[in-house]
C-alpha cells in the first residue's frame, strides 16, 4: 500500500494572517518547527517520496527540514494551493500512485490518523478523499458543502461563502488523497475567479464530482488533531495542546507537576519517578532529569542532564550542563556551557558556572563566578569569589584542587593553580600558584590610626591662615 504513496506537503505560502517576515512553517511549536511535525507524521507512512513545496522564505523551511530526506520543489510565484499542486505535478517524476497532499500548517497531525485516512481511501475505493472536522467556530476555514443525501458537492472558502454557507460547521482540514493520474488530468483546469484571485486546490472537488468521480469525506471527530495554524492565536492553542499532552504523559509516568498551566516540558525530555516540578518550570530538550528531583518555581533547564535527588531552587537557569545526584543548585544560579556539578556539591544563590566543574561535596554558596575552572572535591569557595578568566584576548584556566578553602571576596587571576589543601585568605587577589597546604594572603595590610576622629576634629577647628 505505502510504496505507491507519494506525499506532497505545501509550504510555499505567504501566511498573510501570521504577519511574519519569516516562514510561518519554520516557527517552533513546542520544540520543533511546524513543518517538521507534519513531515515526521508523514514519514511514518513510509511513502516512496516526500516533496515539500517551497517559495516564500524557502530557506527557512529548508533549514528546518535539513535532517529529513525530503525533496524540495520551488513554487514561484505563489498563486494559491491549486497552483502549488499544479507545479508539483509538473515536477515529480512518478507516473502513477496515490498522492497524499497536506497543508504544511497542521502541526498536530498524527501518524495514526493518517493511517486511518489512507485505509478509508482504499477501502472506500475512492478516487479522492477529503478530510473534514466540525468546529464550533469555523470562521476562516473552507466549508464542506453537501447535498440533501449527505454527499459532498464542493468546498467553499470562507471569503467566498454566502452567509448561509458560513453557518456550516464542517470544515476542510487541508489533507487530501487522490490518484496521481486524476490529479494530473484535473489540476490544470482550475480557475482563479474568486475573491483572492488564487487557484484553489479545493475547487478540484467540484470538478471531480462533475466528472462522476467518487469523492470520499473522512470526518475526524477530534478537531485538535487537524487544527490549521493561520495566526498567532491558533499557534498558542496548538502549543497549549502539545504542552499538555507531554505533561499528562509525564504525570501518568509518576512525575508531579504542581501547575500544568504554567509548566512546559518538551517532548524529548525524560523525567524520573517522584520528581516534582513547581509552577513556571520550563525544560527544553534533549534533557534528562533523574528521580526524586525537586525543580522549584520559574527555573529553565535546557539541553542538560540532572541525576537523581537533585534540588534546583527557584529562578535558576541551567543550560548545556550536567548536575550529578544529590547536588543542590540556586536559587538564582546560572550554569552554562558544559558546567559540571558533581554529586553532593552545592551551588548557591547568585553563582554562575561557565565551563566549570565543581567537585564532589564542594560548595560555592554565594555570589560567585567560576569560569573555565575546575574545583576538586570537598572545597569551599567563599562568598564573592571571582575567577578572572579573560585577559581581553584569551580565556585562561583556574584550577582549585581538593580540600581547598577560598575565603570570601577572592579574585583568582587565571591562569593559576591553588594546590590541594591550600587556604586563600579573604579579600586576596591571587596571581601566582598556591602550593599545597599553604595559606596565601594577597591584600594590603590594614593600618588602624588611633584617635583619628578626634584628631581630625581638632584639625578642622584650627583657624585657617589668611
Ligand atoms: C486552506 C484551504 C481551506 C482549509 C484550510 C485548512 C485552500 C484554497 N483552502 O486554507 O479550505 O479549510 O486550508 O487549514 O486550499 N501554500 C502554498 N502555496 C500557495 C498557497 C499556499 O504552498 O500558493 C501552502 C501554505 O504554505 C500552507 C498551505 O498551503 O501550508 C495552506 O495555505 P493557507 O494559505 O494556509 O490556506 P488556508 O487559507 O488556511
Ligand atoms: Mg492555513
Average pLDDT over residues 456-461: 92
**Residue 274 CB neighbour total at 10 angstroms:** 15
Give the per-residue pLDDT at 1: 42
Q: Is 366 known to be catalytic?
A: yes
pLDDT tens-digit series, residues 300-353: 999 999 999 999 999 999 999 999 999 999 999 999 999 999 999 999 999 999
Average pLDDT over residues 245-273: 98
The candidate with the shortest Cα–Cα distance to 339, out of 318, 363, 360, is: 318
**Signed CA dihedral, 371, 378, 363, 437: sign only:** negative
Nearest atom in ligand 1 to the alpha carbon of residue 11 is 26
Q: Spell out the domains of the chain, with CATH numbers in brackets.
A: 5-225 (3.90.550.10), 232-440 (2.160.10.10)
pLDDT tens-digit series, residues 234-258: 999 999 999 999 999 999 999 999 9
Considering only CA atoms, give the Rg of the chain. Answer: 32
Distance in angstroms (rounded) separating the CA atoms of residues 201 and 191? 10
- Cβ burial of 91 (10 Å; 0-12, 13-18, 19+) is middle
Average pLDDT over residues 41-61: 97
Pocket test for ligand 1, best of 103, 104, 145, 195 (most atoms within 8 A of CB): 103
Q: 328-343 burial, b if ≥16 CB within 10 A, otherwise e?
A: bbbbbbbbbeebbbbb
pLDDT tens-digit series, residues 201-246: 999 999 999 999 999 999 999 999 999 999 999 999 999 999 999 9
Distance in angstroms (rounded) separating the CA atoms of residues 320 and 335? 8
Distance in angstroms (rounded) separating the CA atoms of residues 422 and 328? 25
pLDDT tens-digit series, residues 367-398: 999 999 999 999 999 999 999 999 999 999 99
Provide CB contacts within 8 A for 67, sequence distance 6+: none
Q: Tell me which residues have their CB closer than 6 angstroms to ligand 1.
A: 10-13, 53, 75, 78-81, 83-84, 103-105, 141-142, 155, 157, 171-174, 200-202, 228, 230
Distance in angstroms (rounded) separating the CA atoms of residues 7 and 128? 14
Q: Decide: 204 and 82 in contact? Cβ < 8 Å.
A: yes
Which residue is catalytic, options 30, 298, 366, 419?
Answer: 366
State the angle between helix axes of 111-123 and 34-43 in degrees (0 to 180), rounded to the nearest 10: 50
The candidate with the shortest Cα–Cα distance to 84, out of 92, 74, 69, 94, is: 74
Amino acid at each position: 500500500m505505502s510504496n505507491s504513496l507519494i506525499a506532497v506537503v505545501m509550504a510555499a505560502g505567504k501566511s498573510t494572517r501570521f504577519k511574519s517576515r519569516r516562514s510561518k512553517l519554520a516557527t517552533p511549536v513546542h520544540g520543533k518547527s511546524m513543518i517538521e511535525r507534519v513531515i515526521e507524521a508523514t514519514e511514518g507512512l513510509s511513502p516512496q517520496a516526500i516533496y515539500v513545496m517551497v517559495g516564500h522564505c524557502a530557506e527557512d523551511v529548508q533549514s528546518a527540514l535539513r535532517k529529513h530526506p525530503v525533496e524540495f520543489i520551488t513554487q514561484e510565484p505563489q498563486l494559491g494551493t491549486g497552483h502549488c499542486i499544479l507545479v508539483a505535478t509538473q515536477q515529480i517524476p512518478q507516473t502513477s500512485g496515490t498522492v497524499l497532499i497536506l497543508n504544511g500548517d497542521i502541526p498536530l497531525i498524527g501518524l495514526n490518523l493518517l493511517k486511518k485516512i489512507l485505509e478509508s481511501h482504499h477501502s472506500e475505493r475512492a478516487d479522492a478523499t477529503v478530510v473534514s472536522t466540525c468546529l464550533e467556530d469555523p470562521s476562516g476555514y473552507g466549508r464542506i458543502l453537501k447535498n440533501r443525501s449527505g454527499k459532498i458537492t464542493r468546498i467553499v472558502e470562507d471569503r467566498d461563502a454566502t452567509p448561509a454557507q458560513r453557518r456550516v460547521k464542517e470544515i476542510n482540514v487541508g489533507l487530501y488523497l487522490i490518484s496521481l493520474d486524476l490529479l494530473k488530468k484535473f489540476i490544470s483546469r482550475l480557475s482563479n475567479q474568486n475573491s483572492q484571485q488564487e487557484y484553489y486546490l479545493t475547487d478540484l472537488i467540484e470538478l471531480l464530482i462533475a466528472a462522476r468521480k467518487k469523492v470520499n469525506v473522512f470526518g475526524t471527530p477530534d478537531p485538535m488533531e487537524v487544527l490549521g495554524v493561520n495566526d498567532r492565536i491558533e499557534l498558542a492553542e496548538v502549543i497549549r495542546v502539545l504542552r499538555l499532552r507531554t505533561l499528562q504523559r509525564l504525570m501518568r509516568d509518576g512525575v508531579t507537576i504542581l501547575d500544568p498551566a504554567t509548566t512546559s516540558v518538551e517532548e524529548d525530555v525524560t523525567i524520573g519517578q517522584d520528581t516534582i516540578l513547581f509552577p513556571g518550570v520550563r525544560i527544553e530538550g534533549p534533557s534528562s532529569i533523574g528521580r526524586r528531583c525537586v525543580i522549584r518555581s520559574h527555573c529553565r533547564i535546557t539541553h542538560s542532564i540532572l541525576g537523581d535527588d537533585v534540588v534546583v531552587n527557584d529562578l535558576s537557569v541551567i543550560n548545556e550542563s550536567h548536575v550529578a545526584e544529590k547536588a543542590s543548585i540556586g536559587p538564582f544560579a546560572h550554569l552554562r556551557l558544559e558546567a559540571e556539578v558533581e554529586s553532593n556539591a552545592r551551588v548557591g544563590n547568585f553563582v554562575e558556572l561557565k565551563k566549570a566543574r565543581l567537585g564532589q561535596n564542594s560548595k560555592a554558596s554565594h555570589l560567585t563566578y567560576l569560569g573555565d575552572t575546575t574545583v576538586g572535591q570537598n572545597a569551599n569557595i567563599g562568598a564573592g569569589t571571582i575567577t578572572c578568566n579573560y585577559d581581553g584576548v584569551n580565556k585562561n584556566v583556574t584550577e582549585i584542587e581538593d580540600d581547598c578553602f577560598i575565603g570570601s571576596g577572592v579574585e583568582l587571576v587565571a591562569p593559576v593553580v591553588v594546590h590541594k589543601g591550600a587556604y586563600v585568605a579573604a579579600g586576596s587577589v591571587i596571581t601566582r600558584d598556591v602550593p599545597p597546604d599553604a595559606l596565601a594572603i594577597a591584600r594590603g595590610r590594614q593600618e588602624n590610626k588611633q584617635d583619628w576622629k578626634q584628631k581630625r576634629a581638632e584639625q578642622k577647628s584650627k583657624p585657617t591662615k589668611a
